[in-house]
């Protein structure tokens, strides 16, 4: 829940990205904690999808930073 609040209250894109990735790993851990075969596969799939989105977000942050010279919203 703390990472989700960090995403909501982030003041710049870099902070948003860092909390976004922290949220991904925390959520995947909660799924992985079930220790079943399906839980492990689901956690891995969730991480892959979320990291793919994170890479796209990071690309957007970098492009925004290059275009404006600032990472502020």
Residue-by-residue pLDDT tens, the chain, 73 positions: 799 999 999 999 999 999 999 999 999 899 989 989 999 999 999 999 999 999 999 999 999 999 999 999 9
pTM: 0.84
Helix axes 13-32, 37-68, angle to 10 degrees: 180
What is d(CA 49, CA 47) in angstroms, rounded to the nearest whole number? 6
Going from N- to C-terminal start, the domains of the chain cover: 2-68
């Amino acid at each position: 829940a703390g990472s989700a609040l960090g995403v909501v209250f982030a003041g710049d894109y870099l902070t948003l990205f860092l909390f976004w990735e922290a949220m991904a790993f925390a959520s995947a851990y909660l799924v992985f904690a079930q220790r079943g075969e399906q839980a492990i596969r689901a956690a891995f799939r969730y991480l892959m999808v979320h990291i793919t989105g994170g890479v796209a977000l990071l690309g957007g942050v970098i492009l925004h930073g290059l275009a404006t010279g600032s990472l502020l919203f």
